[in-house]
């Protein structure tokens, strides 16, 4: 059997590959990247300046709670968030405690962006006081920190906390502010350690990591420009995911290209020629992979949730810049540095490697896996499929109704402790009231409807502005509870029924409810669209229908199995109360897109080998020679996402763990065993209706034995 035939010298892709890795043009490629980063790099550091982490920015413009936020602007000069300072003494508030709280109220007026403070208000049981301070976003984190410092200087035994929307927001902002730097350091360290282990070279790791850093800088600059000039919604969550995604995906592409380059260095004396062949053969799979992930992510633009819709372009920009860096900058750097980069395992030219069996024999473990696939394919795919189906049973434990305020953090920040104090001594919804805004002429009827609603504890005095009236309704139940959300539904039904009032209900609980419903809608709409788009891309790449169906079916099964396993682990292992309502959709996007990623790497090579060897032999050859590099890529990507598990936000921990778990499951089970076994069992019919389904050039060739 001969080696794969070289591409025609007139091949456009081969000429482009030769241009990137040319003796002179490689320097031009490097210079272009340096100029690009010098021009745009400074913008990457400004990404945090355009982030929007307020609740309203996550919602669609049509949500009722978002309309209330917009209408509230008529009632105030500045947009504010309410800080609730609560004091507690288990034995009862003393005169000294009350004097302290009154003194603090005056001091709070001097906080950055502070409006007029209200209170302190005593609790009915006499054990707590609370003061309300509206804060603008002038410097919310600093204002909350100063308020905590002031409140804590009280008589011995008096405990204080700062909570409410401002306290909780400040706690989240502090996490997001440190997110990018921490994730960059964690992801970079993980990648370096794994590349040292994979390459067994003290220097080779530096080139892929440097290329990934360049890609990340370009991605962050691009996202900054989109946020500033194209109104793209970017928040701390999407910015953090961008860092992890770029490092993981860029390293994946680097592993694939470097492995093919090493293979070609054995077959070519000239490293420039070796890189041209490596790029020509690896680029289609890498480009198809990036296109699949990017297009799948861009489908998120159809989401109602602004945060979800914004994540699509943010993540897609990361994937595309990773693709650009790893198909231009990385090849240029590799040929500039030369073969010595691989030291001490420097690949040397040897004519024996012109025979593919010689290279294949070096993949001992994966040659044995390929042999196992060929011996008992049906038993293998049946056993692995059964195992995945068992894992899907955990889906019954999935609680994706959203997280409470306390449930958003892995620990217990000050704002959560304050909420618990309020729940002990005041109406549970105190500090996060429902906001009702309607037409001023219907003011009295609106107030009657609000007071008559079951679940409403208190109703504020009316405030009027610009022909509108506003009421704040304190709920009997905790603002983040299911009971409070039910009260919002009843409240909306009541005020909507008031004639000529055009009343709307917003506030923290209403926002949470609208997020939950928008997420449910996005799940139903976007998941089928992503499946359809990815399926069409696979058909175009493989020029077949059956193989793409197998790839999609196995990846979806892997996703459901991962989600089921994670649901059980989150509840019984981590002790989390559930997941964010947007978690299933985002997990689906990443696992399906990235899962198909690895299947593309495998099946593209299988198709290449099948043209010369026949389908069954091509499956074994493709699995044997790509098994090591794809598994390494999966381990790197899983490890980079796993770095998110160390963060103090439950959503980020769950997302990082789920993607890491799913990628490993897909890499080690689906791509290594299930898909090859199914494809081997079906044979050349996987290429229906393509030419390979009708021709069997070597179907009777020997079955791969364990030693190749």
Q: From start to end of 585-708, where are the E strands?
A: none
Non-local CB neighbours of 456 within 8 Å, separated by 6+ positions: 434, 450, 473, 474, 475, 476, 487, 491
Each residue of 38-89: pLDDT tens digit?
998 888 888 878 877 666 667 776 789 888 888 887 877 666 788 999 999 9
Non-local CB neighbours of 60 within 8 Å, separated by 6+ positions: 66, 304, 305, 306, 518
Q: What is the pLDDT of residue 703?
A: 43
Backbone angles phi and psi of 63, in degrees to 5: -65, 140
Beta bridge partners of residue 135, listed in sequence order? 81, 114
Q: What is the pLDDT of residue 696?
A: 55
Instruction: Decide: 381 and 669 in contact? Cβ < 8 Å.
Output: no
Q: What is the pLDDT of residue 4?
A: 47
Look at residue 702 and tell me whether its pLDDT is greater than 50: no
For residue 185, whether the previous peptide bond is cis, meaning omega lies within 30 degrees of 0, is: no
Q: What is the pLDDT of residue 403?
A: 76
Q: What is the pLDDT of residue 162?
A: 93
Q: What DSSP state is assigned to residue 667?
A: I
Each residue of 198-249: pLDDT tens digit?
888 888 889 999 999 999 999 999 999 998 888 888 887 788 888 888 988 8
Q: Which residue has the higher pLDDT, 479 or 14?
A: 479
Non-local CB neighbours of 693 within 8 Å, separated by 6+ positions: 544, 546, 684, 685, 686, 687
Beta bridge partners of residue 259, listed in sequence order? none
First vs last Cα of the chain: how many Å apart?
Answer: 13
Each residue of 613-651: pLDDT tens digit?
888 999 998 898 888 888 888 888 888 888 888 888 888
pLDDT bucket at 660, cuts 50 / 70 / 90:
very high
Cα distances from 305 to residues 227, 301, 319, 377, in angstroms, run 16, 9, 22, 44
Q: What percent of the chain has pLDDT over 90?
A: 32
Ramachandran class of 461: left when φ > 0, alpha when ψ lies in -120 to 50, beta otherwise: beta
Instruction: Decide: 437 and 470 in contact? Cβ < 8 Å.
Output: yes
Look at residue 518 and tell me whether its pLDDT is greater than 80: yes
Each residue of 182-201: pLDDT tens digit?
777 877 888 888 888 888 88
pLDDT bucket at 8, cuts 50 / 70 / 90:
very low
Q: What is the pLDDT of residue 78?
A: 63
Ramachandran class of 205: left when φ > 0, alpha when ψ lies in -120 to 50, beta otherwise: alpha
Q: How do strand 118-122 and strand 159-163 relate by DSSP bridges?
A: unpaired
- What span, in angstroms and rounded, lies between the C-alpha atoms of 512 and 519? 11
Highest mean pLDDT among 1-15, 21-35, 66-80: 21-35
Instruction: Decide: 170 and 141 in contact? Cβ < 8 Å.
Output: yes
Q: What is the pLDDT of residue 336?
A: 92
Look at residue 317 and tell me whether its pLDDT is greater than 60: yes
Q: How do strand 434-439 and strand 468-475 relate by DSSP bridges?
A: antiparallel
Query: Would you report the helix, strand and coil content of the chain in percent, each value rounded to 5?
Result: 70, 10, 25
Instruction: Decide: 693 and 684 in contact? Cβ < 8 Å.
Output: yes
Cα distances from 139 to residues 181, 302, 416, in angstroms, run 21, 33, 21
Look at residue 353 and tell me whether its pLDDT is greater than 80: no
Instruction: Decide: 477 and 484 in contact? Cβ < 8 Å.
Output: yes
pLDDT bucket at 178, cuts 50 / 70 / 90:
low
- Of 522, 525, 555, nearest to 537 by C-alpha is 555
Instruction: Decide: 213 and 247 in contact? Cβ < 8 Å.
Output: no
Q: What is the pLDDT of residue 705?
A: 39
Instruction: Decide: 637 and 248 in contact? Cβ < 8 Å.
Output: yes
Beta bridge partners of residue 319, listed in sequence order? none
- What span, in angstroms and rounded, lies between the C-alpha atoms of 603 and 597? 10
Highest mean pLDDT among 59-63, 94-98, 290-294, 366-370: 94-98
pLDDT bucket at 701, cuts 50 / 70 / 90:
very low
- Of 630, 609, 623, nearest to 684 by C-alpha is 609
Neighbours of 435 (CB within 10 A): 23
- What span, in angstroms and rounded, lies between the C-alpha atoms of 664 and 649? 23
- What span, in angstroms and rounded, lies between the C-alpha atoms of 325 and 211? 6
Instruction: Decide: 221 and 317 in contact? Cβ < 8 Å.
Output: no
- Of 191, 133, 190, 182, nearest to 162 by C-alpha is 133
Each residue of 390-438: pLDDT tens digit?
999 999 888 887 777 777 888 888 988 998 888 888 876 776 889 999 9
Q: What DSSP state is assigned to residue 499?
A: T
Averaged pLDDT, 537-557: 90
Look at residue 359 and tell me whether its pLDDT is greater than 60: no
Q: Which residue has the higher pLDDT, 702 or 693?
A: 693
- What span, in angstroms and rounded, lies between the C-alpha atoms of 574 and 246? 27
Collapse the DSSP code of 131 into the 3-class scheme (helix H, G, I; strand E, B; otherwise coil) and give the result. Answer: strand
What's the whole-number average pLDDT of the chain?
85
Averaged pLDDT, 510-534: 88
Q: What is the pLDDT of residue 356?
A: 55
CA atoms within 13 A on the CB side of 561: 23
Look at residue 549 and tell me whether its pLDDT is greater than 90: yes
The DSSP annotation for 422-479 comes to: HHHHS-TTTTS-EEEEEEGGGHHHHHHHHHTSTTEEEEPPPEEETTEEEEEEEESS-T
Q: Which residue has the higher pLDDT, 171 or 354?
A: 171
Q: Which residue has the tokens 């010595």?
A: 340
- What span, in angstroms and rounded, lies between the C-alpha atoms of 312 and 586? 10
Question: Which residue ranges form the domains of the chain, and what is each CATH number?
Answer: 1-61+201-277+304-354 (no CATH), 64-171 (3.30.70.1710), 364-405+519-708 (1.20.1640.10), 433-506 (3.30.70.120)
**Residues across the chain:** 708
Span of 143-152, 286-295, 322-331 with lowest mean pLDDT? 286-295
Pure H helices in 614-702? 615-642, 650-665, 675-682
Collapse the DSSP code of 133 into the 3-class scheme (helix H, G, I; strand E, B; otherwise coil) and give the result. Answer: strand
Q: What is the pLDDT of residue 707?
A: 30
Q: What is the pLDDT of residue 590?
A: 85
Cα distances from 559 to residues 244, 277, 519, 555, 635, in angstroms, run 20, 35, 18, 6, 17
- What span, in angstroms and rounded, lies between the C-alpha atoms of 257 and 178? 33
Q: What is the pLDDT of residue 704?
A: 42
Averaged pLDDT, 539-568: 91
pTM: 0.81
Averaged pLDDT, 259-274: 86
- What span, in angstroms and rounded, lies between the C-alpha atoms of 65 and 505? 6
pLDDT bucket at 287, cuts 50 / 70 / 90:
confident
């Amino acid at each position: 059997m001969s080696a794969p035939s070289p591409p025609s010298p007139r091949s456009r892709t081969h000429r482009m590959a030769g241009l990137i890795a040319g003796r002179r043009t490689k320097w031009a490629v490097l210079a272009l990247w340096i100029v690009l980063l010098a021009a745009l790099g400074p913008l990457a550091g400004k990404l945090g300046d355009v982030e929007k982490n307020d609740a309203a920015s996550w919602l669609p413009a049509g949500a009722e709670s978002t309309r209330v936020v917009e209408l509230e602007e008529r009632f105030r000069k500045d947009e504010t968030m309410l800080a609730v300072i609560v004091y507690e003494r288990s034995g009862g508030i003393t005169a000294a405690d009350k004097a302290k709280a009154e003194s603090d109220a005056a001091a709070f007026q001097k906080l950055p962006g502070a409006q007029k403070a209200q209170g302190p208000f005593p609790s009915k049981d006499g054990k707590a006081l609370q003061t309300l301070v509206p804060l603008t976003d002038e410097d919310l984190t600093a204002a909350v920190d100063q308020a905590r410092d002031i409140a804590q200087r009280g008589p011995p035994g008096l405990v204080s906390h700062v909570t409410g929307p401002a306290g909780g927001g400040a706690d989240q902002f502090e996490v997001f502010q440190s997110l990018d730097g921490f994730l960059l350091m964690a992801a970079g360290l993980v990648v370096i350690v794994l590349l040292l282990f994979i390459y067994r070279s003290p220097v080779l790791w530096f080139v892929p990591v440097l290329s990934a850093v360049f890609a990340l800088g370009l991605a962050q600059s691009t996202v900054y420009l989109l946020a500033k000039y194209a109104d793209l919604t970017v928040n701390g969550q999407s910015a953090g995911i961008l860092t992890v995604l770029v490092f993981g995906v860029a390293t994946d592409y680097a592993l694939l290209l470097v492995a093919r380059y090493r293979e070609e260095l054995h077959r070519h004396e000239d490293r420039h020629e070796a890189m041209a062949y490596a790029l020509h053969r690896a680029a289609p799979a890498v480009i198809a992979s990036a296109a699949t992930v990017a297009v799948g992510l861009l489908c998120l633009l159809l989401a109602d949730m602004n945060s979800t819709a914004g994540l699509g372009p943010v993540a897609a920009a990361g994937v595309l810049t990773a693709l650009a860096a790893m198909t231009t900058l990385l090849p240029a750097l590799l040929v500039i540095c030369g073969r010595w980069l691989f030291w001490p395992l420097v690949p040397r030219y040897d004519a024996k490697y012109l025979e593919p069996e010689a290279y294949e024999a070096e993949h001992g473990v994966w040659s044995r896996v390929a042999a196992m696939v060929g011996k008992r394919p049906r038993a293998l795919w049946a056993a692995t499929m059964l195992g995945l189906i068992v894992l899907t049973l955990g889906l019954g434990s999935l609680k994706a109704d959203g997280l409470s305020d306390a449930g958003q953090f892995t620990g217990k920040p000050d704002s959560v402790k304050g909420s618990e104090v309020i729940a002990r001594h005041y109406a549970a919804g105190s500090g996060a009231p429902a906001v009702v805004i309607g037409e001023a002429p219907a003011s009295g009827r609106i107030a009657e409807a609000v007071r008559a609603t079951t679940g409403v504890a208190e109703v504020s005095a009316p405030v009027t502005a610009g022909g509108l009236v506003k009421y704040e309704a304190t709920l009997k139940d905790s603002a983040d509870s299911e009971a409070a959300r039910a009260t919002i539904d009843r409240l909306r039904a009541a005020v909507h029924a008031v004639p000529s009032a055009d009343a709307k209900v917003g506030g923290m609980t209403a926002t949470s409810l609208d997020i939950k419903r928008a997420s449910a809608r996005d799940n139903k709409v976007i998941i089928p669209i992503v499946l359809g788009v990815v399926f069409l891309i696979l058909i175009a790449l493989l020029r077949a229908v059956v193989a793409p169906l197998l790839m999609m079916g196995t990846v979806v099964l892997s996703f459901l199995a991962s989600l089921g396993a994670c649901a059980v682990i989150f509840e019984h292992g981590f002790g989390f109360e559930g997941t964010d309502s947007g978690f299933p959709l985002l997990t689906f996007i990443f696992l399906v897109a990235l899962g198909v990623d690895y299947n593309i790497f495998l099946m593209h090579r299988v198709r290449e080998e099948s043209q010369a060897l026949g389908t069954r032999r091509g499956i074994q050859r493709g699995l044997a020679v790509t098994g090591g590099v794809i598994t390494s890529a999966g381990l790197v990507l899983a490890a980079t996402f796993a770095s998110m598990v160390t963060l103090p936000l439950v959503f980020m921990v769950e997302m990082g763990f789920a993607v890491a778990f799913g990628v490993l499951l897909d890499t080690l089970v689906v791509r290594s065993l299930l898909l090859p076994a199914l494809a081997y069992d079906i044979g050349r019919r996987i290429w229906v209706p393509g030419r390979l389904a009708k021709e069997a050039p070597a179907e009777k060739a020997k079955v791969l034995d364990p030693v190749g």
